[in-house]
Amino acid sequence: MTRGYRTYSRLIQIPTFEERFQYLSLSGEVGDRTFGNERYLNQGFYNSAAWRRARHQIIVRDNGCDLAFPGRDIHSTIYIHHLNPLTPDDLKHYTPALLNPENLIVVTHQTHNAIHYGDERQLQKDLVERSPGDTIDW
């Protein structure tokens, strides 16, 4: 399935977390479009000062919230996801896609995996608001 170029500006206009996930979901096609056995190419990039600066800026911009969705604060490791999967050529030629804020978003590990594998079941569920007596059996 060929999809249009995804952007942060478009993503943050999407009103629900689930719809944002659908906008980014790769439905398992990531293996066909990214590194495969060339994964070694990204190791230097993800340890670079430029990546660390960009990562920090994206975390601040998104308030540390999963998919930049208010109220979805991340209290564990924060991942930065490229909205449009990188290719080996992006790293070999240091293309703008690597650090462009329009191509980056804050996510949890669970959300990152769900996006890549198209498995909505991996997403963190909304917390249920508690009410008095909700633990009484009958």
Lowest mean pLDDT among 33-37, 47-51, 92-96, 97-101: 33-37
The contacts of residue 20 (CB under 8 Å, 6+ apart) are 11, 14, 67, 69
Nearest by Cα to 80 from 111, 105, 113, 51: 105
pLDDT digits (tens, 9 = 90+) for 15-31: 999 999 999 998 766 55
3 lies in some domain: no
pLDDT, averaged across the chain? 85
Of 3-12, 33-42, 110-119, the range with the highest mean pLDDT is: 3-12
85 lies in some domain: yes
Q: Which spans in 12-121 are helix H?
A: 17-24, 30-33, 41-46, 49-61, 88-92, 109-117
21 lies in some domain: yes
Q: How far apart are the first and last CA of the chain?
A: 50
47 lies in some domain: yes
Range of the domain at 52: 8-122
113 lies in some domain: yes
Residue 115 corresponds to which amino acid? I
Residue 105: strand pairing partners: 81
